[in-house]
Amino acid sequence: MSSIAADFGIDKSLDILGISKENNGTSTGNNSFGSGDFIASHSPVDGALIGKVSTTTQQDYEKVISTAVEAFSVWRNIPAPQRGEIVRQFNDELRRLKEPLGKLVSYEMGKSYQEGLGEVQEMIDICDFAVGLSRQLHGLTMHSERPGHRMYEQYHPLGVVGIISAFNFPVAVWSWNTALAWVCGDVCIWKGSEKTPLTSLACQYIAASVFAKNKLPEGISCLVTGDYKVGEMMTRDERIPLISATGSTRMGKTVASTVASRLGKSLLELGGNNAIIVTPNADIKNTVIGAVFGAVGTCGQRCTSTRRLIIHESVYDKVKNALVEAYGQLRIGNPLDESNHVGPLIDKDAVNKYLEALKKVEEEGGNILVEGGVLEGKGYESGCYVKPAIAEAENHYSIVQHETFAPVLYLLKYSGDLDNAIKLQNNVKQGLSSAIMTNNLREAERFLSAEGSDCGIANVNIGTSGAEIGGAFGGEKETGGGRESGSDAWKVYMRRQTNTINYTTELPLAQGIKFDL
């Protein structure tokens, strides 16, 4: 274990979470196994090996899916409030293990310790939401046109839910899905990112212990580990009616077409190319705070990260100069040191894509305001630390139209009225998160209207990142159209059924049709 890991207590955290140097990455509960090759997890913080996890083979997968299907036959018949009680117990364990799990998230993914703790808090929050939801899985009653009839609709569990999550939020996004799916009566098979396998394993251990304590069958919470080939096993499997997938647009299109070919359901959370519009009526101080955090938080590796800043020409220079000054104050380094603002990218492949983006924007005619580059020397031995960069660009540049998962912020200038800025914002293929900075009520309402932002998330006077559990999370266009977390997102994990009951001695037909025998 490296000196950074030792100082931060990673060994102790792994022990508390039950993780060893070599682990089985396939689990149907307390039964952990896996006969595939091992994948190694190295921390982007210092490059040190944290542990190894075995991958899931086809044979392993068949055992997982059969166990999950069997568990569903039991779990769906347990009353929803009782399922909520199990989620409450899982939540209690998350509260108890928040510190060690948050440390592991930070060290394995590379985000700051505060963000690691914040991600576990998101898990806690969605469990709170799900527990309350377990008593509110309501349908509607309708008046029938036929006398002596009653109509209503109800929701039933869907079945096995497949969850494919990404490295940047290695535990929170899984919990958004699984906490709701569990109270809805579904069982879950989770393929976490192969870049952060140990955090997935830790969550599975926690969940499995709760189900075992309550003498519930294995298979309510299952884990599979590996690359896209394991994901393909899930997306092609007709025994999984719903696949929830988080990742790139390219990945999402593959998942969507595969699942659709078997008439399954997809919940997709894909790429974002998020913009903040800065009008002449903006509070510049708050604009800079929101833009900087949105662009460099998690080293630009959030799907809601701010990629574009669309600034009115009258305040363009003022905002630009304030941003350049703010970037000069950023501290880049070990994210476990809370005095640092920016940690590493996830791996060297991400670094290469970051460098390619900077090269591309210059080739297309952009002007680099704050230079990027890879940091070297003491403290940067992993090779994953880069400088957050700012470039003046045009919205039509191909690189600006593309989502680069790195801390590169593009400044775009607009003139005229707000509609011109909205057109720029909407003129990308992605539609996840958006924001406007203005103290003008009419501008704010215009931005939120049907003619305004075309994104699933639209904010006023806050940045593009930082969603709350209570609202549905997701986006439009090539972001996939999925919704997770709050509001009525729970409905995607259930099947809707309309019921009509005739309590008379007659059988009248609808629409007044006569059929006398």
Active site residues: 269, 303
- Alpha-helical (H) ranges within 153-283 are 172-184, 197-213, 228-235, 249-261
Q: Are 179 and 262 in contact (CB under 8 A)?
A: no
| Residue 323 phi, psi dihedral angles, 5° rounding | -65, -45
Q: Between helices 113-133 and 172-184, what is the axis angle to 10°?
A: 10
Sequence-distant (6+) residues with CB within 8 A of 114 are 338
What residues does 278 pair with on adjacent strands? 311, 437
Q: Are 68 and 222 in contact (CB under 8 A)?
A: yes
Classify residue 22 as exposed, middle or buried by CB count within 10 Å of its CB (0-12, 13-18, 19+): exposed
Q: Are 109 and 160 in contact (CB under 8 A)?
A: no
Core vs surface per residue 271-286: b (16+ CB within 10 A) or e: bbbbbbbbbebbeeee
Report the distance separating Cα 411 and Cα 432, nearest Å. 19
Q: Are 266 and 240 in contact (CB under 8 A)?
A: no
Sequence-distant (6+) residues with CB within 8 A of 294 are 274, 276, 304, 305, 306, 463, 464, 465
What is the Rg, in whole angstroms, of the alpha carbon atoms belonging to the chain?
A: 25
Written as six digits, the tokens of 469 are 């559990």
